[in-house]
A and B are shown apart, each in its own frame.
Chain A
């Protein structure tokens, strides 16, 4: 009856396996893929400007698809366009501190056009001294350059490698918190209209001070190993909101202050600070998703 059970070659082969797998006690210790604990990454991030493309409460009219911007070239020609996506460059460093967890720093840079409104115009109706409406309706087109900002961001990140793979493995889930700073690109010449260049002071209130935001993000990266150390990263980041740093302004400030420039050129600027800050805040917190791709090197 049992003879045939014993007479089984597989059992003999399994002997060796049994020897290998029986251990009296064990405790896990930290180990990493080739001992890699430092991960350096370079990424390009693309953010479709989804929310502020459409009509929003900061301005009248619509800007069509993408973000409308306008500026003047060296010959004073007005150029305008719709920016569909933001491109952000990113470098980051992550250091493994646990079997699956790591902490690090991330730096981002982006050239940022403030969102403007295409065909924004103001029906400027003149009243006479008696209060009657005259016939001299003036339609002012908004012809000023769109401000361009250098955006810098520094973030603390904490990541966890998900799944059963050894870290740094395939799936990285990470949180980030950091400051985003916008500063006006002062290497550019801005214009009121094609004939009227303006100084930075005239162009934007508080042009030489940065506008700061605190931002929380959550992200996911898939690390596809190309070689022992190098991997292709594909992932995305989501905005979790944040806080405005420094002075805050209530109200929508729907229009650039510049419309009153006609009245008192000496005292007014085209873009006042509440408008710009609220506008940038809107853009910072409503850039909900970034897609990114890049390379990372782990040692």
Chain B
């Protein structure tokens, strides 16, 4: 009875909160998802702070090993929390928290120690770390079919926490590591046992919450096929969004590559057992439990679909940021069926086409279609299509795609810039004379051709009666002849691209098109003379503006293994040196160590990480103009004077011969012009100490 009341209240609350805003409005004005509310303390909390250690919880680890274990966890957790990929307080995280609270309603004492976060990545994964921090990836959420499947994934991870698998793995691995004949298979066996246990414990938690058992089995299928896009839809003519253009189906492979995944893959080198073994074990667990209920949802189904769509929007964005262009286009194609003319999707689509075309027209097509042979399912046909497309046709098709997007909102400066760029880029297409592009679309030319053929036979019949034709009939005949003479190409698939821009070559638009095409480069950078090049090399780099410090990564290895304790020591010394050496006024510390960061600052940090991710992947600096979150980035940059991103990384190791080495690099990225100033020759033969680490920080501080 009590449970029923709780369920009802959760349901009512969720419905109320859900209908407070409209989903359509949300997606119409969609922007990359960001965190909300207060920043959780786990971001800045040090697990190794002795005052906060819950000794009862760490019962599996001996007292002597506890600090080492905590350091190990601390290091891992910090790497993830500092990745700029974590979300909290957003609709997805809120929903995950709600489902988790439903699962744990019978164990509130344990629930209070758990924290749930979304991790923005397309990898399909969920993981549990100490102290009870559970991550669900947006990639996983995008793939799931319903709330029950999410509930099972969460239950599985919660079970890892309850069973203290992290601690047990650490202890068991620690014992085994001393055995000289330990094999990788042995070590992963420990992990597989834990997975079986977590499956078993997860089923129990899931069952107690009242979800159905079918979705436990279904979730394994979801996981098995999660390397495929989040939906499998055949590609049809709507992919290119313009029914009036002719795209030959002959460019697509006839059949999609088969989907090869099977349940019984060899799992000897995997930390998780294969799906068949897991499913069999789970079914036996399901059978042991009685009183299964049939609930797929405790919260409104539309709420799950809503957060899943957010995850899917993020999925597309991640693909875009990571240069998985074809995946991004396919994801947009899937989402546009539900959200047509969505500005967020169109922005990504336009930028994706521009970048793909940039790769093609600069002889880097392989970067776009790499991995074509290994693709499975419908997306393999899309890969086949782009693989068959040559760079000239790609350039023309891109202009077509951008033109259509531009026409939806001609006042958009971004679309206008993209349009002009795409047209101008045609200059790079080999063997293309734009004056020979057709003024009829392929279909129009085809229709005219058919009509002409028919009329030819008519003309033969009436030729003799020419003299009897009226003046207007004669004019019409003449027009037809002139019209047909517009088409000089054979109407075959190979020539399809010549017909793509017919609307741009008529009337005023033609003048504009040719003007853009022939426009001279605004900035023509001449190759500097040798003496000038030498001079510029001698110029010293000095960071004049605001310095935004977003990343520092320090790692110490000994004997090839990560030494977590020393890595933390490295970081501590670096932080001291940063504190000591960096000028206070124009140094914006965007790391998470201070604990004083606000959610607004954290979101800016995530934005910078995304931007940096994008900049790292693009082929040329020109493409920075077409970053999808350009406006937000620009408003961030405007607040700062000539901002530079600062990244520092350092490592220490002992070579097989010789003394300990500390080395590292410092990079300043000028956000205005995307120029990278790299100082990567820092290396000293010293142990990790104040002098060696301070020297690395000096590399950065001396440039300010």
Contact = CB atoms under 8 A, between A and B. Distances in A.
Q: Do A and B bind each other?
A: yes
Contact of A6 (B123, B540, B684): B123
A225 B684 contact: yes
Contact of B125 (A8, A16, A170, A227): A8
Contacts of A17: 553
Interface stretch (A27-35, A195-203, A251-259, A274-282): A27-35
A10 to B, nearest CB: 9
Interface string A23-53: 1111111110111000000000000000000
Contacts of B679: 28-29, 31
A1 B262 contact: yes
A34 B692 CA distance: 10
Contacts of A166: 681-684, 695
Interface string B591-619: 00000000000000000010011011110
Interface residues of B, number: 67
Interface stretch (B219-227, B305-313, B352-360, B625-633): B219-227
A13 interface: yes
A268 to B, nearest CB: 61
Contacts of B241: none
Most buried by B among A17, A33, A99: A33
Contact of B683 (A11, A19, A165): A165
Nearest to A35: B702
Most buried by A among B82, B275, B684: B684
Contact of A27 (B123, B609, B678): B678
A7 B541 contact: no
Contacts of B541: 29
A160 to B, nearest CB: 14
Nearest to A4: B270
Nearest to A226: B691
A166 B649 CA distance: 16
A34 B667 contact: no
Given A7-B272, A26-B680, A225-B691, A19 B127 contact: no
B76 interface: yes
A130 to B, nearest CB: 81
Q: Is the interface of B mostly helix, strand, loop or mixed?
A: mixed
A12 B80 contact: yes
A266 interface: no
Interface string A228-241: 10000000000000
Contacts of A11: 123, 125
A99 to B, nearest CB: 7
B34 interface: no
A26 B676 contact: yes
A134 interface: no
A25 B478 CA distance: 60
A25 to B, nearest CB: 6
Contacts of B676: 23-27
A157 to B, nearest CB: 23
A138 interface: no
A79 interface: no
A20 B613 CA distance: 9
B669 A23 contact: yes
A217 to B, nearest CB: 26
B677 interface: yes
A33 B684 CA distance: 8
Interface in B82-124: 82-85, 119, 121, 123-124
B358 to A, nearest CB: 13
A129 interface: no
Contacts of B137: 12
B667 A26 contact: yes
A3 B267 CA distance: 10
Contacts of B663: 164
Interface of B: 76, 79-80, 82-85, 119, 121, 123-125, 127, 135, 137, 223-227, 260-262, 265, 267, 270-272, 274-275, 537, 540-541, 551, 553, 609, 612-613, 615-618, 621, 647, 649, 663, 667, 669, 674-686, 691, 694-695, 698-699, 702
Interface of A: 1-9, 11-13, 15-17, 19-31, 33-35, 99, 164-166, 169-170, 225, 227-228
7 contacts: A4-B267, A9-B127, A13-B80, A15-B85, A23-B676, A25-B675, A33-B682
Given A3-B272, A11-B125, A28-B679, 16 more contacts: A1-B261, A3-B275, A4-B274, A7-B223, A8-B125, A13-B80, A16-B553, A20-B647, A20-B649, A22-B617, A23-B616, A26-B680, A31-B702, A33-B698, A225-B684, A227-B691
